[in-house]
Amino acid sequence: MANYIISASDAESMAKSKNLTVPQLLPSLVQSAQSLARPPISNFHVGAVGLSSDGRIFFGGNIEFPGLPLHHSIHAEQFLITNLAAHGGGPKLLYVAVSAAPCGHCRQFLQELRGVCDTQIVITDQPQENPVYKPISSILPDPFGPFDLLDQNTPLILEKHDNKLSFKDDNFLTGKFSNLSNLSNGYSELVMKNEVMLKNKGLEAARESHAPYSGCPSGVALMDCEGKVYKGSYMESAAYNPSMMPVQAALVAYMAAGGGGYERIVAAVLVEKEGVVVRQEETARLMLNHVSPKCELRVAHCV
C-alpha cells in the first residue's frame, strides 16, 4: 500500500539506516510521493514530502479531475497540508521537499501555517548535485498572509479549531435521510446503518474547519461501499481563491486511507451554515456528481 504517513520511530530508523538525518532523508522520498499523484490532465506528477514537528513524515501528490474546471485540482502541497491536518500533524511543518518549484497558489496556501516563513524547503528537480534547504520566505518574499486580515491569536491550520457548531434541528438526524429507499445506488441499507455516523463526522469536520475569513466553516463526510467514513474540512486561504474545498479535503482523507476508485464512494454529507456568505453546497454537489455519479450528496445545516 502506498505510503501517506511514516511514523516518527519509522522515520528515525529509516534515516539512521541510511546514515542521514530525517531532513536529509526527505528528498529520497519525493519519488515515492510522486507515485501517489493522479494527474490525468497534465501527466505532470508532483510529489511533496513534509516533516512534522511531531517527527512524522507526511506525503502528498497532485490530483486532477478530468471533466471539471481546473480550480478543482488538488496540488501536492495542498494534499500534504490536508493530510497533516487530517491526522493531527504539527503544530509546525519543519521541512518540506517537493519535486518541482511550488506554484504561487501553493506558496500562498502554505501561509496558512503559522511560522511557515521559517519552514525549510528543498526543490529536488533543481539542477544541483545536492539541492539545499532554504526558508519558504525566500520563495515568497513580502507575502500577503493571514495576519494582514486576522488577529495574531486566531488559530491557523494545524492549530486547534473548535467551531461551536451543532445541527440546525434536532430532528435532523432522521430528517433529510428519511427517503433512503429512494437511493438509487443500492446502498440504502448500508447508508441507513451508518447515517448517524456520517452526519456526525460531517459535523466534526465542520467544527475543525479553518474559515476565519468568511466565518463559514464547513465539512464533508464520505462513505465508501464498505461503510467506512472519511471526513474533510474546508480550509480557507487569506487570499481566498486557494482555499481547499471540503469535498477535496475528504477525498484526500479517502486516498490517504488507501481509498481506491472514486466510484466506491456511495454517500456523502456536507455540513455548513445555511444562507451564509460563502456556500459550498452547489459546488460540492457538482463535484461529487462528477467523480462518483451514484453518490448522492445530502446537506445538513448547522448553526
Partner 1 sequence: MNLPPKTYIIEAEEAASMAKSKNLTLPQLLPSLIESAQNLANPPISNFAVGVVGLTSDGRIFFGGNIEFPGLPLHHTIHGEQFFITNLAAHAAGAKLLYLAVSAAPCGHCRQFFQELLGISDTQIVITDQPQENPDYKPFSSILPHPFGPFDLLDENTPLILEKHNNQLTLKDGDFIIQDKKTCDLPNGFSDLNAKNEELLKTEASAAARGSHPPPKDGNFINQDENTRDLSNGFCELIAKNGEFLKSEALAAARGSHAPYSGCPSGVALMDCDGRVYKGSYMESAAYNPSMMPVQAALVAYMVAGGGRYERIVAAVVVEKEGVVVRQEDTARLVLKHLSPKCEFRVVYCN
Where in the sequence numbering do the catalytic residues fall?
77
* Binding-site member from 34, 52, 82, 108 for partner 1 (CB under 8 A): 108
The answer to whether residue 41 forms part of the interface with partner 1 (CB under 8 A) is yes
Retrieve residue 137's grid coordinates: 520566505
Separation between Cα atoms, residue 195 and residue 4, nearest integer Å: 28
Judged by beta carbon, residue 3 or residue 73, the one nearer partner 1 is 73
Interface with partner 1, residue 242, by CB under 8 A:
yes
Between residue 180 and residue 209, which ones bind partner 1 under the rule CB under 8 A? none
Largest Cα span, the chain: 62
The CB-of-283 to partner 1 minimum distance in angstroms stands at 5
Taking alpha carbons only, the member of 111, 113, 96 closest to residue 141 is: 111
Task: Note whether 238 binds partner 1 by CB under 8 A.
Answer: yes
Task: Please identify, among the stretches 19-27, 89-97, 103-111, 164-172, the one whose residues bind partner 1 according to the rule CB under 8 A.
Answer: 103-111
Of 4, 3, 24, the residue nearest 15 (C-alpha):
24
Is the CB of residue 103 less than 8 Å from the CB of residue 75? yes
Told to check if 111 binds partner 1 by CB under 8 A, we report yes
144 sits near partner 1 (criterion: CB under 8 A)? yes
Residue 143 engages partner 1 in binding (rule: CB under 8 A): yes
- Contacts (CB under 8 A) with partner 1, residues 54-83: 64, 66-71, 73, 75
Write out the residues near partner 1 by the rule CB under 8 A.
40-42, 44, 64, 66-71, 73, 75, 100-109, 111, 123, 138-144, 148-149, 213-214, 236-243, 245, 277-280, 282-283, 286
